[in-house]
């Protein structure tokens, strides 16, 4: 019985496939009669057929979709290798991923393997890569906003605000002062000093909240008093720095402080709208999901719409789409179950797949070979010293003033000096706006790497000194 059923199935399969294939062959054969008078020339020699195949095969390598996929494969593979190497060295993986981006740029791959570089990262193919990297940044800033716990800020607001704002204003002022001395040599033509100085200041004052949080977790100090105060300070620093960056971008785009007032007023209205209307709405939506009155996919669709509309709004206002993504994350409901579930859905895609693309875009812009003179490396060293002293001293002194021990104060200073990815985001915004030229961009990228790299060794040093 089973054999007969199996035989019938095979017979039916052969009949239907063979019958319809024969019918198609007959239609195509008859259809050739319709070609009369159309002057169709078919070259069917074996040699020409193989040549046509080779030409088509070669063209497939240069197809935009194929090239984009090859770029993504190369970027993820190299990023993971470098990330794991630096993790074994006791450094955050993100440093290895950033250096992987630089290695794939003109500083290494383009220098020693120009043919490979020109094929893999052909200028006409970079627009697709850049769009994907921007989507990754939007998702990443959304996650950063969701990771911020406003309740923690309220509980430790006094100490956190003092330390955080001191860690911003001191390096900010130091950056503006440094801009006074290097403006003539490094500012692009047509860029006013106010724009150059403000952008250098904000670049000096950024702290990489995600990298800092990862370092604290890896060192198992996230449940200690030091871990709690540093996380709170970094969260306050992130909110303040991104608001300041929005103001700086508004001033730069408007051309003057007075002209930027309208943009700033629109930005303030947008923030109030997000806090007073959007946040309560999302909270009610989350409650409906938790009580089983709304489906998960519908909730996710609404949340993604809020993210995209928020990013679009801030881009149109003139304070950059990333601020909108950050703000959308900050107003999301802070139910631990709901937040962790939502972050898990997008974190791997954003951090593993899309974010390394941004590192390569940064690496393609970072031409370390431009720093081909001792004086340029001297300026790079000065930038690193000013950035480190401003952030480290500002944070440490403020922490000591509010009652922290010297060990904790210095540790806070070292951690707040971590710049990492957030610094690269700011630098790329400055590069896109035309405020930073290729030389100063390369110097600032090196500063971001050095200040992030020194965090671990400094913490180890303070641990030994105050053991």
| pLDDT band of 294, cuts 50, 70, 90 | low
> Residue 313: which domain range?
129-355+373-465
**pLDDT for 50 beyond 80:** no
Q: According to the model, what pLDDT value does residue 404 have?
A: 85
Tokens 């990228």, located at residue: 445
The arithmetic mean of pLDDT across residues 351-371, rounded, is: 88
Of the listed ranges 154-158, 257-261, 382-386, the least confidently predicted one is 154-158
Structural domain count, the chain: 1
Band (384; pLDDT cuts 50, 70, 90): very high
Which CATH number goes with the domain that contains 349?
1.20.1530.20
Per-residue pLDDT tens over the stretch 96-116 = 888 999 999 998 898 899 999
pTM for the whole thing? 0.82
pLDDT tier at 441 (50, 70, 90 boundaries)?
very high
Q: How far apart are CA 437 and CA 427, in angstroms?
A: 10
**pLDDT in the model for residue 447:** 94
Residue 65 lies in a domain: no
State the Cα–Cα distance between residues 1 and 10, nearest whole angstrom.
Answer: 14
459 within domain boundaries = yes
pLDDT over 90, % of the chain? 32
Q: Cβ(424)–Cβ(359) under 8 Å? A: yes
At 308, is the secondary structure helix, strand, or coil?
helix
Q: Which two three-digit tokens encode residue 116?
A: 């490979």
pLDDT tens column, 295-342: 777 788 888 899 999 999 988 888 888 888 888 988 888 765 667 777
Taking residues 349-362, report their average pLDDT: 87
Model confidence pLDDT, tens digit, residues 217-238: 777 776 677 877 887 788 778 7
The reply to whether 448 falls in a domain is yes
Other beta carbons less than 10 A from residue 82's beta carbon? 23
Average pLDDT estimate for 24-52: 75
Give the model's pLDDT for residue 313.
93
Who wins on pLDDT, 1 or 237? 237
Work out the number of other CB atoms within 10 angstroms of the CB of residue 302: 14
* Plot region of 434 (φ>0 → left; ψ -120 to 50 → alpha; else → beta): left
Q: Is 330 inside any structural domain?
A: yes
Q: Can you tell me the mean pLDDT for 80-92?
A: 88
Across the chain, mean pLDDT equals: 85
**Separation CA 70–CA 59 (nearest Å):** 14
Residue 212 lies in a domain: yes
Q: Which residues of 372-399 are buried (b: 16+ CB within 10 A; e: fewer)?
A: eeeebeebbeebbebbbebbbbbbbebb
Whole-angstrom CA distances from 404 to 216, 234, 400, 413 are: 18, 16, 5, 12
CB 143 within 8 A of CB 346: yes
Query: Measuring CA to CA, which residue among 418, 371, 365, 417 is closest to residue 391?
Result: 417
């Amino acid at each position: 019985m089973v054999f007969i059923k199996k035989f019938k199935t095979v017979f039916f399969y052969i009949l239907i496939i063979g019958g319809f294939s024969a019918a198609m062959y007959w239609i195509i054969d008859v259809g050739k009669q319709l070609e009369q008078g159309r002057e169709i020339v078919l070259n069917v020699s074996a040699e020409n057929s193989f040549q046509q195949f080779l030409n088509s095969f070669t063209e497939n390598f240069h197809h935009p979709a194929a090239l984009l996929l090859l770029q993504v494969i190369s970027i993820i593979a190299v990023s993971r290798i470098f990330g794991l190497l630096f993790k074994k060295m006791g450094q955050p993986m993100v440093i290895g991923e950033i250096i992987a981006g630089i290695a794939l740029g003109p500083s290494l791959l383009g220098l020693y393997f120009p043919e490979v570089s020109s094929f893999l990262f052909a200028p006409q193919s970079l627009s697709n890569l850049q769009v994907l990297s921007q989507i990754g940044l939007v998702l990443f800033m959304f996650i950063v906003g969701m990771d911020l716990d406003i309740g923690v800020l309220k509980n430790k607001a006094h100490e956190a605000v003092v330390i955080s704002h001191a860690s911003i204003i001191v390096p900010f002022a130091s950056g503006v002062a440094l801009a006074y001395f290097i403006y003539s040599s490094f500012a692009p033509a047509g860029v006013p000093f106010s724009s150059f100085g403000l952008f250098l200041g904000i670049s000096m004052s950024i702290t990489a909240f995600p990298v800092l949080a990862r370092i604290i977790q890896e060192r198992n100090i996230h449940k200690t008093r030091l871990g709690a105060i540093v996380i709170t300070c970094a969260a306050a620093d992130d909110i303040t720095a991104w608001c300041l960056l929005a103001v700086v971008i508004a001033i730069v785009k408007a051309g003057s402080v007075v002209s930027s007032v309208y943009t700033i007023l629109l930005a303030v209205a947008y923030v109030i709208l997000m806090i007073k209307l959007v946040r309560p709405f999302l909270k009610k939506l989350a409650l409906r999901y938790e009580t089983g009155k709304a489906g998960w996919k519908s909730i996710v669709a609404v949340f993604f719409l809020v993210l995209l509309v928020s990013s679009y709004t801030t881009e149109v206002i003139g304070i950059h789409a990333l601020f909108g993504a950050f703000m959308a994350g900050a107003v999301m409901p802070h139910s631990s179950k709901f937040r962790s579930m939502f972050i898990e859905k997008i974190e791997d895609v954003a951090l593993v797949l899309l974010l390394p693309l941004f590192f390569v875009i940064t690496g393609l812009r970072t031409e370390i070979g431009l720093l081909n003179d001792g004086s340029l490396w001297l300026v790079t060293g000065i930038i690193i010293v000013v950035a480190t002293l401003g952030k480290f001293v500002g944070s440490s002194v403020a922490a000591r003033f509010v009652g922290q021990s010297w060990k904790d104060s210095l540790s806070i200073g070292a951690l707040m000096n971590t710049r990492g990815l957030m610094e690269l985001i700011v630098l790329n915004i400055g590069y896109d706006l035309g405020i930073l030229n290729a030389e100063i961009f390369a110097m600032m990228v090196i500063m971001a790497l050095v200040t992030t790299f020194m965090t671990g060794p400094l913490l180890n040093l303070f641990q030994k000194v105050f053991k």
